[in-house]
Chains A and B, each alone.
Chain A
Amino acid sequence: MSMVLLQLGQCGNQIGQELLELVNTDGRNDLGRPDSYRAISLERFFRQEAGTDAVPVARAVLVDMEPKVISHTLAKAMKSGQWSYGNHSHFCQKQGSGNNWANGFCIHGPRHEEAVLDLVQREVEQCERFGGFIAMMSLAGGTGSGLGTYITQCLRDMYPNSFILNQLTWPYGTGEVIVQDYNAVLTLSHLYKTSDALLIHENDTVHKICSQLMNIKQISFTDINKVIAHQLGSVLQPVCTRWSISEYGSNPLGDLLESLVTHPEYKLLSLMNIPLMSDKSLQFSTFTWPALMKNLRQMLIANAKMEAGIDWQMKLPPAGHPSVSKPFSDRKLCFNTSLANLLVLRGKEVFQADTGILGWSGKLSRKLRLPTMVTRCLKTNLPAQQAKLHPEKCTSLGFLLARAYVHQYMKHGISEEDFLDCFTTVEQVIASYSSLG
Chain B
Amino acid sequence: MTQSVLVQVGQCGNQVGCRFWDLVLREHANVNKKGIYDEALGNFFRNVDTRSTNGDDTNLHKGKIRSLKARAVLIDMEEGVVNELLQGPLRDVFDSKQLITDVSGSGNNWAVGNRQYGCQYRDRILDVIRKTAEHCDCLQCFFLIHSMGGGTGSGLGTFLLSLLEDEFPEVYRFVTSVYPSADDDVITSPYNSVLAMKELTEHADCVLPIENQSLIDIVNKINQMANSGKSASAIKLQSTLISGQSKVKRQEKPFDAMNNIVANLLLNLTSSARFEGSLNMDLNEITMNLVPYPRLHYLVSSLTPLYTLADVNIPTRRLDQMFTDAFSKDHQLMYADPKRNLYLACALMVRGNVQISDLRRNIERLKPSLQFIPWNQEGWKTSLCSVPPVGHTHSLLALANNTCVKATFTDLKDRFVKLYKKKAHIHHYLHVDGMEQSCFTEAKNSLSSLIEEYNQLDATKGLPVTNMPRLSIAT
A: residues with CB less than 8 A from B are 10, 14, 66-69, 72, 93-100, 142, 172-179, 207, 210-211, 216-222, 224, 393-395, 397-399, 401-405, 407-408, 420, 423-424, 427-428, 431, 435
Contacts and interface: CB of A to CB of B under 8 A. Distances in A.
A80 B276 CA distance: 19
Contact of A10 (B279, B293, B294): B279
A175 B375 contact: no
A176 B279 contact: yes
A431 B473 contact: yes
A10 B280 contact: yes
B356 interface: yes
Contacts of A175: 378-382
Interface in B461-475: 467-473, 475
Contacts of A93: 138
Given A99-B288, A423-B471, A435-B475, A72 B360 contact: no
A180 B226 CA distance: 43
B39 interface: yes
B363 A174 contact: yes
Contacts of B293: 403-404, 407
A404 B1 contact: no
Contacts of A408: 287-288, 291
Contact of B294 (A14, A67, A407, A431): A407
Contact of A98 (B1, B285, B471, B472): B285
B285 A219 contact: no
A395 B468 contact: yes
11 contacts: A68-B275, A68-B276, A96-B282, A96-B285, A178-B379, A179-B289, A207-B357, A220-B355, A398-B469, A404-B293, A424-B471
A423 B275 CA distance: 37
Interface string B249-291: 0000000000000000000000000011011101011011111
A176 B381 contact: yes
Given A14-B278, A66-B282, 20 more contacts: A67-B39, A69-B276, A94-B137, A174-B380, A175-B380, A175-B381, A177-B289, A177-B381, A179-B289, A218-B355, A219-B356, A219-B357, A221-B356, A394-B470, A398-B469, A399-B375, A399-B376, A404-B292, A424-B471, A428-B473
B460 to A, nearest CB: 9
Contacts of A14: 278
B357 A222 contact: no
A389 B26 CA distance: 47
Contacts, number: 150
B284 A100 contact: yes
A405 B379 CA distance: 12
B371 interface: no
Of A66, A176, A222, A420, chain B has the most CB atoms within 10 Å of the CB of A176
Contacts of B357: 207, 210-211, 216-220
Contacts of B279: 10, 176, 221
B367 A174 contact: yes
B7 interface: no
Contacts of B276: 68-69, 72
A94 B287 contact: no
Contacts of A67: 1, 39
A137 to B, nearest CB: 15
Contacts of A142: 285, 288
Top 7 nearest A-B pairs (CB, nearest first) are A98-B284, A394-B468, A94-B138, A219-B357, A175-B380, A404-B292, A398-B375
Nearest to B364: A174
A26 B284 CA distance: 40
B92 interface: no
A97 to B, nearest CB: 8
A68 B138 CA distance: 15
A176 B470 contact: no
B356 A220 contact: yes
A403 B456 CA distance: 14
B358 interface: yes
Contact of B471 (A172, A220, A224, A427): A427
A401 B287 CA distance: 20
B133 to A, nearest CB: 14
Nearest to B294: A407
A72 B374 CA distance: 39
